[in-house]
Amino acid sequence: MRINVVTLFPELIAGWVQSGILKRARDSGIIAITCLSPREYATDIHRSVDDAPYGGGGGMVMMPGPIAQAMDEIDKSGESRQRAHRILLTPQGVPLNQTKVAELAKLPVITLVCGRYQGVDERVRRLVDEEISIGDFVVNGGEIAAISVIEAVSRLIPGVLGNQDSCCGESHTDGLLEYPQYTRPQRFRGMDVPSILLSGNHEQISKWRRIQALKRTRERRPDLFERYRQTEEESRWLRESERDEEK
């Protein structure tokens, strides 16, 4: 998979992907991550990429020309010469979730466009395929959002994680939050690992984890729990667990 990032600060992205899992994935050729700055396509001597907004107001707005040129250059220079799926990262976009991450992971090429200043010229929106937000808050630029998308998408690409099973059962992969995890020591500051996890009974452990995932989601994210469609077995497990707790 190839991920392109249009950003005024390529060094922010480059520094992040030069370590850990992403570095190994790039070195092995599983994914390719490249950055391109709109400033390379500025037309004046000062290499300007922003200007004052029409109609007045505070701040500056990124001009459409350099961004559009950068996206076009990416498509022309790509190995497959195919148009990348273009994503504008903006607080006005659709909230990113695991379902969307899985969809993006199936695409061969995506281009992430990072805004800065007061945002991008509205006409840029007509040149992208979708707009994505990583939450209902505002940061200084789209680079943090781009890194979030890269991290989330890349780990679903076969071969990126050492053990692909490690992403199974994680929060949001099936509509629920992840069950509690424990490791050594068995006792820590008076807190013990649940005995079921030490039993060696994998069937019961799996059942316990599912119950905990259901409970945790109901308590912490009732909105997710409402949307989740429980199986008859899961509903029964939950009722039985609650009855046991009341005893």
- pLDDT for the residue numbered 114: 98
Write down the pLDDT at residue 162: 74
* pLDDT for res 172: 83
**CA dist., res. 38 & res. 231, Å (int):** 50
Confidence of residue 82 (pLDDT cuts 50, 70, 90): confident
What is the structure's pLDDT at 166? 59
pLDDT value, residue 171: 75
pLDDT band at 168 (very low <50, low <70, confident <90, very high): low
pLDDT tens profile 96-113: 999 999 999 999 999 999
Question: Is the pLDDT reported for residue 232 higher than 80?
Answer: yes
| Domains delineated in the chain | 2-164 (3.40.1280.10), 169-246 (1.10.1270.20)
Confidence of residue 128 (pLDDT cuts 50, 70, 90): very high
- What would the pLDDT profile of 30-62 be if each residue is shown by its tens digit? 999 999 999 999 999 999 999 999 999 999 999
Give pLDDT, residue 1. Answer: 94
The mean per-residue pLDDT over the stretch 137-160 comes to 96
Preceding omega of 185 cis (within 30 degrees of 0): yes
Q: Which residues pair with 89 in a beta bridge?
A: 114, 132
- Per DSSP, the residues of 28-76 read TTS-EEEEE-GGGG--STT---EEPPTT--SS-EE-HHHHHHHHHHHHH
Quick one: the chain helix, strand, coil %, rounded to 5?
Answer: 45, 15, 40
pLDDT band at 79 (very low <50, low <70, confident <90, very high): low
Query: Comparing 120 with 164, which gets the higher pLDDT?
Result: 120
Residue with tokens 């701040």: 59
Read off the pLDDT band of 78 (50, 70, 90).
confident
Contact 1, 105 (CB under 8 A): yes
**Percent of the chain surpassing pLDDT 90:** 90
